[in-house]
Chains A and B, each alone.
Chain A
Amino acid sequence: NAGVTQTPKFQVLKTGQSMTLQCAQDMNHEYMSWYRQDPGMGLRLIHYSVGAGITDQGEVPNGYNVSRSTTEDFPLRLLSAAPSQTSVYFCASAIAGGLADTQYFGPGTRLTVL
């Protein structure tokens, strides 16, 4: 199994550009989530999904959209990139949406917005 994969690894955008961060998992996990990690702060939840067709907002959803058309994929869209979205983004998956499920993390995408 490849586990959780993310593309790209690095990305530089200009303010106002849009892009999609890709996340895929091959473990048939129902729960998937996106986090951002900023210096001096813990990881923060952006959006999550408890199954195909179901998504919900996390702690910091503004400026991001998600969709979950398949169990495997959970892309994160930046609609109009801003410098405040410069961060490292992690996708994670878990068997189900229970609070006590082990999360498996992707390798991360480092995004810089100029």
Chain B
Amino acid sequence: KNEVEQSPQNLTAQEGEFITINCSYSVGISALHWLQQHPGGGIVSLFMLSSGKKKHGRLIATINIQEKHSSLHITASHPRDSAVYICAVNKLIFGTGTRLQVFP
């Protein structure tokens, strides 16, 4: 069993929909990271959090330490949000990613 599990593996949405991607982990963590991998392959860091909630634009990340669970939400999704979203913990143990496609 992977130490970091993401769901769903694939997600399709219509533009404007509210998106939720989930991440569960089984190890103790100092920090949890959400990353975005563009269709061209580049990886950027979206959030790093160890408690509570963070918001950046239309993206919201939450973490529940007791339940060892984090969620990434995208409000008012847009086709440019189409990417693979990756959850990672510590230094760094990665989930396998969630492939999101948003259609106009």
Where the two chains meet, the residues of A that have a C-beta atom closer than 8 Å to any C-beta of B are 35, 40-45, 48, 88, 90, 92, 97-105, 107-108, 110
Where the two chains meet, the residues of B that have a C-beta atom closer than 8 Å to any C-beta of A are 2, 4, 29-31, 33, 35, 41-45, 48, 50, 86, 88, 90-97
A99 to chain B, nearest CB (A): 4
Tell me which of B30, B86, B90 contacts A43 (CB under 8 A): B86
Find chain A residues with CB under 8 A from B93 CB.
42
Cα A111 to Cα B11 in complex, Å, equals 28
**Do most interface residues of chain B lie in helix, strand or loop, or is the interface mixed?**
loop
Judge whether B48 and A100 touch: CB under 8 Å.
Answer: yes
Cα A101 to Cα B2 in complex, Å, equals 23
- Given A42-B96, A43-B94, A45-B92, A103-B41 contact (CB < 8 Å): no
Cα A108 to Cα B31 in complex, Å, equals 24
| CB closest chain-A residue, reference B89 | A99
| CB closest chain-A residue, reference B3 | A42
